[in-house]
């Protein structure tokens, strides 16, 4: 019996695995500022300000404010305003409101994202084998409801169920998010599922800790990939390579890359 025939579900990470951010954060903040007649904020300061603001918000109100019952738009508005403040830009309430609406709308659309060309073919191939697909992502509800459909990744066409941190209230690397995926898959045994992601800490380790099969993608040739391999993780350059190995039926080839 081949490895593929033993699988009852495959779960897949989203950002870095199926899609990536397009351009720089500063591009979208610049466009928003220009829309109200203001000059572009400094890209570097804006990037650093956002990193600090996002980290603080994620710590105080994890899973996009799920436990605090904070509306998604309020979470992001607080984060974006703090980002500007940390970068040294303070706007009056009316001006900031206009800038924020532009930023929130941009990141709630397909504009800032690019889909890897092998993503849709791979997901459709998996489902054609009779294996359902679950998406497991540290993201808010707009990924499920707006962004993925806008990019052509649709439920019941490319995927069967989703576990999104902003909806479930738990995020990777907490293994609980993978337990939820197994439950949604029909309470299947961990060894009957394979998880594909791009982070050793957030994808591979927690999935393996439950007994799931797991592998990693190294789409951007990160220096960390060599350490992933040394630790025993199967690492692939893209989903096309993953499909080729799964089609071969030789589970030992999972360590080829």
Do 49 and 86 contact (CB within 8 A), yes or no?
A: yes
pLDDT for residue 249: 72
Q: Cα angle at 114 between 112 and 119, to 5 degrees?
A: 145
Which residues have CB under 8 Å from 49's CB, separation 6+? 82, 83, 84, 85, 86, 87, 88
The rounded distance, in Å, linking the Cα atoms of 223 and 221 is 6
Residue 155, strand partner residues: 159
Phi/psi of residue 111, nearest 5 degrees: -55, -45
The rounded distance, in Å, linking the Cα atoms of 22 and 150 is 15
Q: Cα angle at 220 between 53 and 151, to 5 degrees?
A: 70
For the stretch 156-200, pLDDT in tens is: 999 999 999 999 999 999 999 999 999 999 999 999 999 999 999
For the stretch 63-85, pLDDT in tens is: 999 999 999 999 999 999 999 99
pLDDT exceeds cutoff 80 at 257: no
- Give the predicted TM-score (pTM) of the model: 0.93
For the stretch 183-194, pLDDT in tens is: 999 999 999 999
Could you tell me the pLDDT band of residue 251, with boundaries at 50, 70 and 90? low
The structural domains of the chain, ordered by start, are 3-21+113-255 (3.40.50.1000), 25-107 (1.10.150.720)
* Mean pLDDT computed over 112-127: 97
pLDDT for residue 248: 86
pLDDT exceeds cutoff 80 at 253: no
For the stretch 25-58, pLDDT in tens is: 999 999 999 999 999 999 999 999 999 999 999 9
């Amino acid at each position: 019996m081949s490895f593929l025939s033993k699988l009852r579900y495959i779960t897949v990470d989203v950002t870095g695995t199926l899609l990536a951010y397009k351009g720089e954060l500063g591009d979208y903040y610049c466009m928003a500022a220009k829309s109200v007649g203001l000059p572009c904020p400094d890209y570097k300061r804006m990037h650093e300000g956002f990193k600090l603001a996002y980290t603080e918000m994620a710590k105080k109100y994890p899973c996009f404010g799920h436990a605090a019952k904070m509306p998604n738009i309020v979470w992001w508005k607080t984060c974006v305003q703090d980002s500007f403040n940390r970068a040294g830009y303070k706007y009056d309430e009316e001006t900031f409101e206009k800038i924020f609406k532009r930023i929130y709308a941009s990141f709630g659309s397909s504009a800032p994202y690019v889909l890897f060309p092998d993503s849709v073919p791979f997901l459709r191939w998996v489902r054609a084998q009779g294996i359902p697909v679950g998406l497991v992502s540290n993201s808010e509800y707009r990924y499920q409801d707006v962004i993925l459909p806008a990019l052509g990744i649709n439920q019941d066409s490319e995927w069967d169920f989703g576990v999104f941190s902003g909806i479930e209230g738990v995020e990777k690397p907490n293994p609980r998010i993978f337990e939820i995926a197994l439950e949604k898959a029909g309470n299947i045994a961990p060894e009957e599922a394979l998880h594909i992601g791009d982070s050793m800490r957030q994808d591979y380790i927690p999935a393996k800790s439950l007994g799931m099969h797991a592998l990693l993608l190294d789409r951007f040739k990160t220096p960390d990939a060599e350490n992933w391999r040394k630790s025993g993780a199967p690492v692939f350059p893209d989903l096309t390579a993953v499909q080729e190995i799964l089609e071969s039926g030789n589970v030992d080839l999972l360590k080829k890359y």
